[in-house]
Amino acid sequence: MKASCFLGNQTFEVQEREIPKAGRGEVVIKNMVCGVCGTDVHIYYGEPGSADVNPPVVLGHEYAGEIVEVGEDVTALKPGDHVTVDPNIYCGQCQYCRNGKKQLCPSMQAVGVTRDGGFAQYSLVPAAQAFKLADAVPFEAGAMAEPLACCLHGVDLAGIRPGQTVCVIGGGAIGLIMLQLCKLSGAAKLILSEPNQKRREAALQLGADLAIDPTDPQARQSVEGAADVVIECVGNNPAVQSAFSFAQKGAVIVLFSVPKVDAQFPVPLFDVYKKELTIKGSFVNPDTHARAVELINAGKIDFSPIITHRFNIHQLPEAIAAQQGSESIKVVVETN
């Protein structure tokens, strides 16, 4: 099989490897489609992922494929099943795992981060990490289960109530998924803040009531203090500043994005006090992957305007570059 191995130093090497064999409690997946995540971009440039990365490793943690082999004791899955992978594997022993905060596990491993993942023709994963997709679901949609599951955790933390006004900052893939989840949660008014016109148009197509360009002072002023819930999905200081600006009194702000490791922001403490703001962080996808798969199987999330660019396994550097470009929303790699 072919595997695009990340060697560090912004270098991928397509290698010829043996197809893995399933051991007890494991499955072998013929990988079909793998998304390029912002975490992959961070790792490419030497920054941390959800867990420590030690090259060489096959990256890719947002993927779907078809099971070709199951190991001993695997009874819930069989060859031919279409599946998506929850990449995060927790120790189950630490205080966080034992107290309902498994996403904070200090020993967490992740398929496509600490162990070989989706940027290869086949992968080997614990059967517990594979979730069955409906046969009619395209593999592209199945590959979006992991980012959808992460967004579900963020929306859970936001605590959206029917009838509220919600503002999503950032119209990339995550922002456009968040927008749809907020609509499903009962938001009465959905606002997207995004400077890229193509992404604003996609947001309106997906149900946003208003999509503003935050670089336009008049448009920005029109939504200041308007939102009951603000979900920030960009990861830079102007976006975080916008979150505080758009939040009305009593609002919840979810800082969902993955910032640079050394990023800092001067918190407007008087605003937090006077407006009684609640600020939350959101990390990975604890126990939300199954719900994500149910939403995908039911056709409740539209990925058609989100997935914009497709590459093959020999084009990982180009795919990483495209994911950072203004023309793309979501980039995927077709591995088989």
Q: Give, to the nearest 10 degrees, the angle between helix 173-184 and helix 197-205.
A: 20
Q: Give, to the nearest 10 degrees, the angle between helix 145-158 and helix 173-184.
A: 50
Q: Which of 11, 39, 308, 314 is catalytic?
A: 39
Give SS3 for 285.
coil
Contact between 271 and 246 under an 8 Å Cβ cutoff? The reply is no
- From first CA to last CA, the distance across the chain in angstroms is 10
Distances (CA, A) of 13 to 8, 65, 287, 313, 335: 10, 22, 34, 10, 14
What angle (nearest 5°) sits at the alpha carbon of residue 134, between those of residues 131 and 138?
100
Q: Which of 42, 82, 153, 289 is catalytic?
A: 42
Largest separation between any pair of C-alpha atoms in the chain: 63
Both tokens assigned to 318: 């180009």
- d(Cα 262, Cα 304) in Å, to the nearest integer? 35
Q: Is 39 a catalytic residue?
A: yes
Q: Is 42 a catalytic residue?
A: yes
Q: Which residues are CB-contacts of 95 (< 8 A; sequence separation ≥ 6)?
A: none
Residue 178, H or E segment: helix 173-184
Distances (CA, A) of 22 to 26, 60, 113, 166: 5, 20, 20, 45
Q: Which residues are CB-contacts of 199 (< 8 A; sequence separation ≥ 6)?
A: 171, 172, 175, 176, 192, 329
Contact between 72 and 125 under an 8 Å Cβ cutoff? The reply is no
- d(Cα 117, Cα 114) in Å, to the nearest integer? 9
- d(Cα 93, Cα 77) in Å, to the nearest integer? 26
**Enzyme catalytic residues:** 39, 42
